[in-house]
Amino acid sequence: DIQMTQSPSSVSASVGDRVTITCRASQDIMNWIAWYQQKPGKAPKLLIYAAYSLQSGVPSRFSGSGSGTDFTLTISSLQPEDFAVYYCQQASSIPPTFGGGTKVEIK
């Protein structure tokens, strides 16, 4: 199985900050990575798929980049509703595997 290592595990940031979350795959996954946002007590929400494709309805302040083994999710200007846990997921092969999550907290 492909391992996904996400960092940092948590980040404290203020409204308006630029936040970057990284994910490293244990092998080449080309651009087959998805990113999710999860708020307490809710199901995850798809933000980005295929590394940089923005899911319909997701604000443009979210962006993804990377290929091969190293990937990044960037929130260009953090908004109050963005405080949540973020997960990456490799979509290169079955089983799909998730990173451990990054909690974005209020500074």
Q: How far is the CB of 93 from another protein (least distance, A)?
A: 8
Residue 40 interacts with another protein (CB under 8 A): yes or no: no
Which residues, in sequence order, are CB contacts of 12 under 8 Å at separation 6+?
105, 106, 107
Q: What are 99's two structure tokens?
A: 């990173």
Degrees to nearest 5, angle at CA 55 with 105 and 44: 45
Residue 15 or 50: the one with the smaller Cβ distance to another protein is: 50
Q: Which of 3, 8, 50, 70 binds another protein (CB under 8 A)?
A: 50
- Which residues, 67 to 106, sit near another protein by CB under 8 A? 87, 89, 91-92, 94-101
Q: How far apart are CA 52 and CA 70, in angstroms?
A: 13
Residues contacting another protein: total by CB under 8 A: 25
47: how many CB neighbours lie within 10 A of its CB?
Answer: 22
Nearest of 77, 73, 80, 69 to residue 32 by alpha carbon: 69
Residue 79 or 93: the one with the smaller Cβ distance to another protein is: 93
Residues binding another protein (CB under 8 A): 1, 32, 34-36, 43-46, 48-50, 55, 87, 89, 91-92, 94-101
